[in-house]
Amino acid sequence: MTQKNVRVASVVMPVMIAMLLLFAGSSRVRASDQPSTANVAIKIDNFVFGPQAITVPVGTTVTWTNSDDIPHTAVSTDGVFKSKVIDTDEKFSYTFTKAGTYPYYCAIHPKMTGQVVVK
Ligand SMILES: [Cu+2]
């Protein structure tokens, strides 16, 4: 290394380290914010809710997407939530704010069932 290169390196390295530390710090903040904005997707495909049973933290928004070419619904067995008819590629979202077990089914095809456990 020449004298000049050594001098450039001694200036560049601390700057790079500072940028790395800043980046690491900001990603840590973002990670700790995540529980309040958690999103979980359930796909309706071939008359099946997938995943059929999920466990999520309180505050999670669950979004059902209908990937079938016929309409479905997602209706809570206990009346906690009730979607409108979800057509092909349409979505329905519900945010679970209380812990509990939430079984649900499709009102059009009652044999289609699923469950969301909120902890
Ligand atoms: Cu259905």
Question: Which pLDDT score is estimated for 16?
Answer: 59
Residue 86 phi, psi (nearest 5): -100, 110
Question: Which pLDDT score is estimated for 34?
Answer: 46
CA of 85 to the centre of ligand 1 (A): 9
Question: Which pLDDT score is estimated for 27?
Answer: 46
Question: Which pLDDT score is estimated for 28?
Answer: 47
CA of 97 to the centre of ligand 1 (A): 25
- Per-residue pLDDT for the chain (119 aa), expressed as one digit of tens each? 555 655 655 666 666 555 545 555 544 444 444 445 689 999 999 999 999 999 999 999 999 999 999 999 999 999 999 999 999 999 999 999 999 999 999 999 999 999 999 99
DSSP conformational letter for 37: G
Alpha carbons 15 and 10: distance in angstroms, whole number: 9
CA of 42 to the centre of ligand 1 (A): 14
Question: Which pLDDT score is estimated for 101?
Answer: 98
Collapsed DSSP state (helix, strand, coil) of residue 35: helix
CA of 52 to the centre of ligand 1 (A): 13
Chain position carrying tokens 């099946």: 48
Q: How many other CB atoms are found less than 10 A from the CB of residue 102?
A: 19
Question: Which pLDDT score is estimated for 22?
Answer: 54
User: In the chain, what is the greatest distance between 2 CA atoms, to the nearest angstrom?
Assistant: 78
Q: What is the 3-state secondary structure (H, E, C) of 38-49?
A: CEEEEEEECCEE
Amino acid at 25: G
